[in-house]
Structures are given as structure tokens and as C-alpha cells.
Chains A and B, each alone.
Chain A
């Protein structure tokens, strides 16, 4: 194992540099963000960090993480995070050799890919409104095309309360907007085609052999709770739970309910 991990806001794994937010102590939780990177000041982040060590990298190309040349597929991301999982337990001689893996939205797709590949460093898996599989017939898209849909409509379908949660670009700093533009480009690169799913993943979800919780915002209009229940049904023993008054980002819209679901699952 030639990889190393630095305890800082950067982490380098097998030559790939990641920006990473780390908060809290205790059971390590690897948190994979979705279409946008997480702000560690977010309420849900702090609630988790009160009882666990939350390790939240920005995927290459997102946030402040560089993207190596040619690194542009889900295949690359899956192998990168398998390496991260190998490296984390050696970091600071943590007493834990396993990590709880949480993935939201696009990051939920990654988490499912990682767990379907290899679970031996994972003790629990939490998928939050994940993308990643194809369920509907060939003329029914499961996942709203966020690139080819009017931005207002994307926001309307993203949130239970769009008036409160839709981003206000006019109020953002240049740096925040630049991060959003980086995130958008990276998301398009990884997820454009086939749009936000791997045609073979649903077949292999049966390989996931750790306790799994699938959480879903009841008002998610990007990808529906019906899809979520079917997704959970493909993972052996997975439990599905819905979070009321939340859309595609229940961790942001209902941080208390979200954290309570996750922490109960972690401590069970």
C-alpha cells in the first residue's frame, strides 16, 4: 500500500489530491457529496460531527479538488474511493478498521458502486436519494435531466420548499460561484452519458453485504421515493426510510430528522 493520508484539509491518495473537510471524533464516516459540495458549517454536518468523525472529500473536479488528466469516469471515482477506504484506517492509527459510508444523490451512486465492488472496509452504508440505476422502461427517465431542464424547474423539483432553498446566485461570492461552476462541469463530465446511471449496477447491488439504510426526501422531484424503494429492494436487507418535508437534499432541508436517522442507524 503506497498511499498516504494527511490529516489536514487536503488528502493525497495514490497521487490524487483531494480537498477534504474533517470534523468531530469517534466512529469514522466517509461522506460523499452529490451535485454540489457540502459546506461543513451545514447543520446536518455539525450534528453528525457531534457523534462521529466526518470525513468529506470533494470529488476530483469538484470544489477545490483538482482533477487529474483523463480522470473522468465513475470507474475512476469508484477506484479512488476504494483506495481512500483502504487508507483511512491507517490514518492516525484510528481504532476503527471500518468506515461508515454515506453518499448523497450523485455521491449515493458512487457509494453504491463502491459497496457493490468491495465492502471489507465498510461497516454500514447510507444512501441518500441516490442516482445510479435504471428502473423505468426505455421511454421513461427515472432521473430528472438537470442539464436539459429549465433551471427554475430543476430548483422547483429539488426542494420541498424551493422558495427557501433555491440558491441565490446574486448573493454568492465570486469564489462560491466559481465552485458551483466547477461542480457543474465535473458533474456533467462524470454523469452526462448514460445520464446518471450505470446500466449494470442494478444487477450487482446484490453484492452489498453490509447493513444498509436508504433515506429519501418524501418530496424529491429529481428522483422519486418510488425509485428509492425499488433501489433499496435490490440491496439485501436494506431498510428504506422516508423523510417528510424534504426534497432531493433531506440532509439540508431536514437536518435534525436526517441526523437522527443516520445516528440511530450508526449506533444500532
Chain B
């Protein structure tokens, strides 16, 4: 198993009374509450943490979110460029520039090819579907988001692999008559592709395409269902079976010297859920296109028939809609988070055991994506956790090789 470390560079320093008065901490909170000097310090600390990961042999992930306290990483390719040059050993996963929000997939392909070349072939490319407040921030129509997502991926993949001069693309959402990117990527035919998704329809498509599938904070049942959809789609399409190397799970992870330290500092990561997920109804339950109408209708109610909604959602999508998942996550306690495989925290032995319990529950996965710093966790705490994880847990995970995924 490989492990990957990430920090979303959250900005937790907005006064609590401002957050309490805002109907959303994403999308619409005025940026006067973001002090660029504090932001500069945060970037400096977090980039140093990424470089520490490089020293310790722990792979890194660069994410992207827009316009909120949850993340200052609104420009994924910029961080990617820094990591491509400043790290020297580890692999770098972009998870990712938010493709369905951008008008020019060819430009994204240029950014990725450049980062792959600068890093001499250490880039991995992840695609995230986006949702919620990202749609408002990017002016992106939420209703045909998934269509744009796949078409953008198709165009990027072709731009990365086509070596015979200009080609033309006249798709439904993107037209580009003269595509011929320089440089072409270092890795041939292209860097490995990943996708972060929770719903089985997308999981099936990810499976047919042989991409690595990342489940983010979905807990054992949702994760297992999505992995199954991925595998079943391959069987149905007559494609060869994949190994656990095609599956990844993202959780909050913190390792301390003792269980007490690991859990107490690790619980700071729950800020990401308890505080930074709060999103106004227009970005969540009333966002068009996020669920089939007969399910969306259930969440219009102020007192949703949650059982009904969950039942319908389960029948239709195999998992609850992302906004319902978010509602559950916002109220979660450290104990619940640990019980549900959202938070792995404690001393090195405990964290290893928690990861492997989850591994067994979902049928195995080849990549652990660690949300390693969030909220008010300090730079020193973060670096200590990275060191302990890399020294005490990572070597044990590395011994777990890919196995055929049944």
C-alpha cells in the first residue's frame, strides 16, 4: 500500500462570531476576512510540510477548492508547479484541478504535461467532479456537470497522448480546432489517472476506464459499494480484473506518540467537517442537478423524511447524495469519526490497526490518502504527525502488496 499526504490549506482564523453569522463559510464569505499575511504564513508552513513528506518518502497530494475557509488552494496548478520543482523523490497527485469548472481542458493538459516534465515523471493526475459552492464560484452549470467532467477528461487524455501534430475537437461542451501541446508528458502514454467519486454510476465509468478510484470520507459501506460498482462494471464490460492498486481511500489521519496524543491532536482535523463544510442551502440541498428529482425533492423539506430519502438514495445511487453525507459529517464526534473510518488516530500501532480494519471491511485498497492537517492543528503538530506516520506506520503499509480485487 502507498500513502499520500495532503493539506487543504484551510483558513480557520475568521472570528467565530463572523462564521456563526454567515449562512455559508464557502462561496459567499467576503474575502476581507482572509488576511494575506496570514495566508502567506500558512502556505509557507504547508509547503514546508510537503517538503518534509518528500524527505520522509511520503507521497503528496495537491487539491483544489474555491472561495471558502476550507481551503486556500483555488489554483491547483500553481501548487503543482511548486511541488514538481521543490520535491525530488515522491510522487505527486493532483486531485485535482477541477476540470468541469474550467472552460479550457487543453490548457489543463498543458499544465499537467509541464508539471510531469518538471518533476521528471512523478505526476499523477486526479479528477474531481466538484459540486456545491464550487459551481457558483466558477460560473459552472451544475446540471450538466458530469457530462462536462467526462468530456474534459477525454480531451485532456487525447491532448496528452496525441503526438502527430494538431488535432481537432468539436465536442458538446468543448471545441478546440487546433490542439498540439508542448511539452508532451514525461510518462508514456500519460501519467496515471485517478478520480474521486462516491456514486456507483461514476464509479462504474471510472472502473471501465481503469482509473484509480478515491473515496473521500465515505465510511466502510459507501466505500465498499463504490469499489464493487467499479469491479462489476469491468466484469460486465469484459475487461480484465483489477487489483487493489486501483482503489484509494481518503481519511483524516494523525499519529502521536501515544493514543491520547494521537486522538487529541487528530481530533483537531474534525474542524474540516464540523466548521468548514457549512454551506448555504442554495449551494447544497437546492443546488440543481445534484440528485435525481425524486430524491432532491425529499431534501427540500425542512423536516426531511430522512429514512425515505436515504432509502431512495440508496436504491438509486447506492450511496447517499453528497449533501446528505456532508450533513452527517458536520455533526460527527471524534468517537463516531473513528468508529466510521473517517478518522484514523492514535499511536502508530493503533493507527495501523485502524487502517487495516477498514481495509478488511472494504475488501482492500492500495492507496491511503491522508488529510493530514486541518483547522487549528499547528505546523509543529503537523510535522510531528508526518514524521511518526512515515517512520512507524508507512513501512508496515508498504508490505501490503496489491492483491486481485474480488
Contact = CB atoms under 8 A, between A and B. Distances in A.
Contacts of A149: 282
A265 B10 CA distance: 60
B146 interface: no
Contacts of A180: 297, 300
A150 B23 contact: yes
B359 interface: no
A147 B302 contact: no
A187 B281 CA distance: 17
A147 B139 CA distance: 11
Contact of B282 (A148, A172, A174): A148
A174 B281 contact: no
B297 A188 contact: no
Contacts of A192: 141-143
B353 to A, nearest CB: 44
B288 A188 contact: yes
B161 interface: no
B293 interface: yes
Interface string A53-95: 0000000000000000010100000000000000000000000
A151 interface: yes
A170 B297 contact: no
Query: Which among A148, A181, A187, A188 has the highest number of chain B CB atoms within 10 Å?
Result: A181
Nearest to B312: A174
A39 interface: no
B297 A151 contact: no
A150 B281 contact: yes
Given A147-B136, A188-B142, A170 B294 contact: no
A189 B139 contact: no
B295 to A, nearest CB: 8
A194 to B, nearest CB: 10
Contacts of A172: 300
Contact of B143 (A150, A170, A188): A188
Nearest to A177: B297
A203 interface: no
A148 B287 CA distance: 9
A169 B302 contact: yes
A72 B296 CA distance: 20
Interface string A160-191: 00000000011010100111111011011100
Interface residues of A, number: 24
A177 B301 contact: yes
B294 A174 contact: yes
A193 B136 contact: no
Contacts of A174: 294, 297-298
Contact of A181 (B27, B300, B303): B300
Interface residues of B, number: 26
Contact of A185 (B172, B280, B288, B300): B288
A156 to B, nearest CB: 14
Contacts of A184: 286, 288, 296
A150 B288 contact: no
Given A148-B136, A150-B23, A187-B288, A181 B297 contact: yes
A15 B236 CA distance: 34
Contact of B144 (A177, A178, A182, A189): A189
Interface in B286-335: 286-289, 293-294, 296-298, 300-303
Contacts of A151: 281-282, 286
A70 B298 CA distance: 27
Nearest to B133: A148
A170 B302 CA distance: 7
Contacts of B296: 181, 184-185
Query: Which among A72, A182, A185 has the highest number of chain B CB atoms within 10 Å?
Result: A185
A177 B300 CA distance: 8
Contacts of B297: 174, 177-178, 180-181
A177 B143 contact: no
A193 B144 CA distance: 12
Given A72-B144, A170-B303, A181 B294 contact: yes
Contacts of B303: 170
Contacts of B143: 185, 188-189, 192
B37 to A, nearest CB: 29
Interface in A134-164: 147-151
B302 A150 contact: no
A184 B144 CA distance: 13
Given A169-B302, A177-B298, A189 B141 contact: yes
A182 B302 CA distance: 19
Contacts of B300: 169, 172, 177, 180-181
A35 B174 CA distance: 28
A148 B133 CA distance: 9
Nearest to A189: B143
Contacts of B301: 169-170, 177
A147 B298 contact: no
Given A188-B288, A188-B289, A150 B139 contact: no
Contacts of B280: 150
A180 B293 CA distance: 8
27 contacts: A147-B287, A148-B27, A148-B136, A148-B282, A149-B282, A150-B280, A150-B281, A169-B300, A170-B302, A172-B300, A177-B297, A177-B298, A179-B293, A180-B297, A181-B294, A181-B297, A184-B286, A184-B296, A185-B288, A185-B289, A188-B142, A188-B288, A189-B141, A189-B144, A189-B289, A192-B141, A193-B139
Interface of B: 23, 27, 136, 139, 141-144, 172, 280-283, 286-289, 293-294, 296-298, 300-303
Given A177-B297, A180-B297, A192-B143, 13 more contacts: A148-B27, A148-B136, A148-B283, A150-B280, A151-B281, A151-B282, A169-B300, A169-B302, A178-B294, A178-B297, A181-B294, A192-B142, A193-B139
Q: Which 5 A-B pairs have the closest CB atoms?
A: A177-B297, A188-B288, A181-B293, A192-B141, A181-B296
